[in-house]
Amino acid sequence: MAAAAAAAILELEPSHERAGRVIEDIVRLERRIFPKHESLARSFHDELKRRNTGLIYSTSGADADEVAGYAMYTFNTSLCATITKLAVKENCRRQGHGEALLAAAVERCRRRRVQRVSLHVDPERTAAVALYRKAGFQVDATVQDYYAPKRNAYRMYIDL
């Protein structure tokens, strides 16, 4: 967890000079971590253009320019938000990046006075499920064939 303490959680500012490089890093990470049919890599720029979408990212303590992980969230209504993506680079895992990103995304939802934050997670991703449970999320339902035939998802939520 010490590395995450030195890491920064930053909000993507599209007009910032580094925004293009940050987005490229995130898209590469998206392609590496998620199967092609689950990846937003091809539509990432379109997702970011949506007014109700936010993106935060963490940097590695060793290299403040290296994107260690990111979280994307959407404000579905004035009362409900969804964390659509949360991913951490393989060599940056188990250092607190995921926990910090999740807490920051939930806090941004709290500031908008959202009452419920939800997400979907593959039950096979046990580390992710444990992270969400530790943060207070609970399983609402199992969604059959969410990712693909015979690949279900837990729908999880936290009330704020």
pLDDT in tens, 13-58: 776 777 788 888 998 898 888 887 777 767 777 787 788 999 999 9
Say yes or no to pLDDT of 2 above 80: no
Say yes or no to pLDDT of 90 above 70: yes
Contacts 24+ apart (CB under 8 A), 17-24: 18/65, 22/57, 22/67, 23/48
| pLDDT, average across residues 102-108 | 96
CA angle 86–88–91, rounded 5-degree value: 170
- Domain of 52, CATH number, reads 3.40.630.30
* Mean pLDDT comparison of 52-56, 95-99, 116-120, highest-scoring range: 116-120
* Residue-level pLDDT at 61: 64
How far is Cα 71 from Cα 75, in angstroms, rounded to an integer?
13
Total count of domains within the chain: 1
C-alpha to C-alpha distances, 20 to 13, 23, 27, 51, 57, nearest whole angstrom: 10, 5, 11, 18, 13
Say yes or no to pLDDT of 65 above 60: yes
How many helices (H) and strands (E) are present in the chain, helices listed first? 5, 7
* Residue-level pLDDT at 64: 67
CA angle 151–157–158, rounded 5-degree value: 155
* Residue-level pLDDT at 62: 60
With contact defined as beta carbons under 8 Å apart, do 84 and 74 qualify? Answer: yes
More confident residue, 59 or 119: 119
pTM comes to 0.87
With contact defined as beta carbons under 8 Å apart, do 41 and 30 qualify? Answer: yes
- Domain limits at 77? 2-159
Residues ≥6 apart with Cβ < 8 Å to 66: 25, 59, 60
* Residue-level pLDDT at 18: 77
